[in-house]
């Protein structure tokens, strides 16, 4: 920690009002986005005595709807489910060949299916970011793979200090293997394990932030069901430890962080007297801008997620608000190699009508075939005889964001065909399993006669890559006091699900930034 001359640090420790941020405010630190990167940043700054404004375009997700629940169910999506859409855009668009999307009222819902030319990028919207919608799979990469993930970061520091810190703060835990062997809701995963092992692939349990004791009680029917009621994608009402249950209460306890939900940062540019002028649009729940606020911040942290941060930086560079950002901004974006697929099982391998929406295991063929496949649920409530997988692959393709002056929007040049290396890597697992089991791929989940879910990613990474667009701690090149501190720092792939790495890297970077820049 630096000495007493702490620019922008508030005197005293008067707890701050709940917010939102007011027009004309002058603040020491403004954080854009409240996902993993944003909440780590807000917490650690506040604990170091810095007053923080945390600005989030999505809702707070702290108030129940008319059904008494905060979050909607996957089986009955409603206005809460999607960000400003009039029709759902479900990752699995079809079932038994039939389209399953439906009309919904336009609302600032929780899951954004953001469409670019060749890919749909799913992201969480709200205080908690992706932690609100994700599966909670909390995976630390194998150490032997770390050099390829973040080549300029000291692996010893990460594995000795920051990964453990992130895992502890996120509340990561592992399923009880003995319980797994008998739980009805994991029959689908046991089928996945059996078939993987019969084909010679290692099946590994995957840690998750779900409360595993609560999961046991759900199976025993002694508590309201959440994972066992098919809750995922649109939020989870009970057992999942999203950031709302981990970092956020600690943030609130500091009394130093003002949170402004339904506030979207539109512009950041140097202020004449030092620091940055930040233009913020307040939204109503149909997405209209109701108020535009202009504030001044001594330091600004971009934690709007890989896509959100990249889009802002690319636009601000191209439109002259931040012209000195370097040419690496917007580059090295990847999809973490995501591809989805379903397999049709033999009649003697039912996967069960009750499936926990929280995956607990995967098939590791990373070293030999470049794929790590989560055994994922299909929580339809009926027996499907299907096994479903989300694979993370070593797909080497990288895309770039660029400013489109004609549309005044940021484009991403990813092509759907660029998924092919990822599909080939996933096939290194599933072609073999199909041959061994005498089974075939499902063709009814992504359209009519379409095998591969190659149109989407859940894991956007890159666009403001560490030690390229920034220095080795996320300080953006060209400007003092501007930082990127989220998934945009990671060049396209983490070999496993990304949020533990995003959290650990943010913990590492903010520690250095607090020690040297405040
Ligand atoms: P993120 O969590 O996306 O937070 C960014 C926040 O910034 C969001 O709340 C935005 O609304 C907000 N924002 C964006 N633009 C603005 C703006 N201009 N002004 C104000 N606010 C803004 O970023 N990862 C895993 O490791 N395990 C899983 O099991 C897993 N499952 C997933 C399932 C789904 C369906 C999805 C969509 C993702 C999943 N992920 C999973 C990915 C994970 O949630 C994601 O990598 C992290 O949430 C990214 O963290 P960031 O802090 O980068």
Spatial separation of the C-alpha atoms in residues 333 and 412, rounded to whole Å: 9
CA distance 505 to 130: 16
Instruction: Please tell me the predicted confidence (pLDDT) of residue 15.
Output: 45
Catalytic residue at 263? no
Q: By C-alpha distance, which of 340, 323, 342 is closest to 444?
A: 342
Q: Average pLDDT for residues 201-213, to the nearest whole number? A: 98
Domain that holds residue 452: 2-517
Going by pLDDT thresholds of 50, 70 and 90, the confidence category of residue 448 is confident
- 239 in Cβ contact with 214 (< 8 Å): yes
pLDDT of 339 > 60? The answer is yes
CA distances from 41 to 5, 153, 302, 308, 431 (A): 21, 19, 10, 16, 43
Share of the chain above pLDDT 90, in %: 93
Q: Whose CA is nearest to atom 25 of ligand 1?
A: 497
- State pLDDT tens for residues 102-126: 999 999 999 999 999 999 999 999 9
Tell me the C-alpha distance between 330 and 337, whole Å: 18
Among 517, 515, 518, 370, residue whose Cα is nearest residue 1: 515
Query: Ligand 1: which residue has its CA nearest to atom 31?
Result: 134
pLDDT of amino acid 18:
66
User: How far, in Å, from the CA of 305 to the mean position of ligand 1?
Assistant: 6
Among 57-61, 72-76, 241-245, the minimum mean pLDDT is found in 72-76
What does the pLDDT average to over 200-223?
98
Contacts of 391 (CB under 8 A, 6+ apart): 337, 338, 339, 340, 341, 371, 372, 373, 374, 422, 425, 426, 429
Residues of the chain above pLDDT 70, percent: 97
pLDDT of residue 95: 81
- pLDDT above 60 (res 4): no
Q: Which atom of ligand 1 is nearest to the CA of 266?
A: 18
208 C-beta closer than 6 A to ligand 1: no
pLDDT at 12: 39
> What CATH number does residue 284 fall under?
3.50.50.60
Question: Mean pLDDT in the chain?
Answer: 95
- Ligand 1 pocket residue status of 392, Cβ below 6 Å: no
Catalytic residue among 56, 218, 374, 511: 374
User: Is the model more confident about 14 or about 19?
Assistant: 19
How far is CA 198 from each of CA 194, 363, 424, 429, 432, rounded to the nearest angstrom? 6, 12, 21, 12, 10
Picking from 3-7, 23-27, 68-72, 303-307, which range would have the lowest pLDDT averaged per residue?
Answer: 3-7
Pocket of ligand 1 contains residue 378 by CB under 6 Å: no
End-to-end CA separation in angstroms for the chain: 8
Question: Which residue has the CA at smallest separation from atom 27 of ligand 1?
Answer: 137
Domain count of the fold of the chain? 1
Output the pLDDT for position 377. 96
The question of whether 374 is a catalytic residue gets the answer yes
What pLDDT does 9 receive? 38
pLDDT of amino acid 10: 40
């Amino acid at each position: 920690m630096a000495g007493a001359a702490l620019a922008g640090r508030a005197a005293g420790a008067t707890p701050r009002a709940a917010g939102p941020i007011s027009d004309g405010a002058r603040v020491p630190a403004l954080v854009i986005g409240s996902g993993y990167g944003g909440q780590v940043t807000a917490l650690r700054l506040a604990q170091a005595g810095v007053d923080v404004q945390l600005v989030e375009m999505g809702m707070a997700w702290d108030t129940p709807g008319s059904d008494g629940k905060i979050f909607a169910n996957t089986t009955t999506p409603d206005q809460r489910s999607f960000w400003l859409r009039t029709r759902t855009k479900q990752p699995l668009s079809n079932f038994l060949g039939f389209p399953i999307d439906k009309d919904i009222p336009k609302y600032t819902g929780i899951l954004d299916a953001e469409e670019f030319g060749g890919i749909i990028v799913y992201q969480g919207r709200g205080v908690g970011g992706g932690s609100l919608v994700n599966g909670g799979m909390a995976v630390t990469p194998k150490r032997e793979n770390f050099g390829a993930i973040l080549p300029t970061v000291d692996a010893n520091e990460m594995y000795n200090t920051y990964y453990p810190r992130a895992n502890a703060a996120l509340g990561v835990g592992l399923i009880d293997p003995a319980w797994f062997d008998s739980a009805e809701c994991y029959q689908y995963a046991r089928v996945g394990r059996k078939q993987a092992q019969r084909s010679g692939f290692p099946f590994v349990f995957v840690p998750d932030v779900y409360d595993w004791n609560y999961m046991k009680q759900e199976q025993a029917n002694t508590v309201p069901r959440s994972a066992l009621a098919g809750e995922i994608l649109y939020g989870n009402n009970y057992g999942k430890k999203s950031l709302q249950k981990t970092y956020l209460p600690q943030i609130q306890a500091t009394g130093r962080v003002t949170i402004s939900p339904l506030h979207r940062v539109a512009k950041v540019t140097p202020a004449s007297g030092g620091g940055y002028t930040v233009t913020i649009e307040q939204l109503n729940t149909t997405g209209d801008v109701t108020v535009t606020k202009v504030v001044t911040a001594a330091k600004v942290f971009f934690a709007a997620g890989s896509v959100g941060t990249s889009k802002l930086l690319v636009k601000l560079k191209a439109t002259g608000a931040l012209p000195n950002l370097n040419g690496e901004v917007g580059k090295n974006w990847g999809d973490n190699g995501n591809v989805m697929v379903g397999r049709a099982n033999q009649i003697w391998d039912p996967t069960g009508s009750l499936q926990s929406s929280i995956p607990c295991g995967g098939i590791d063929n990373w070293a030999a075939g470049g794929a790590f496949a989560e055994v994922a649920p299909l929580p339809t409530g009926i027996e499907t005889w299907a096994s479903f997988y989300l694979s993370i692959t070593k797909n080497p393709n990288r895309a770039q964001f660029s400013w489109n002056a004609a549309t005044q929007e940021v484009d991403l040049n990813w092509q759907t065909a660029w998924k092919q290396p990822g599909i080939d890597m996933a096939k290194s697992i599933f072609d073999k399993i199909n041959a061994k089991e005498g089974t075939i791929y499902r063709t009814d989940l992504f359209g009519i006669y379409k095998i591969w879910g190659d149109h989407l990613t859940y894991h956007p990474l890159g666009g403001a890559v560490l030690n390229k667009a920034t220095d080795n701690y996320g300080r953006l090149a060209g400007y003092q006091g501007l930082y990127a501190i989220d998934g945009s720092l990671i060049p396209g792939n983490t070999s496993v699900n990304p949020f533990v790495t995003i959290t650990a890297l943010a913990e590492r970077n903010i520690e250095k930034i607090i020690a040297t820049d405040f």
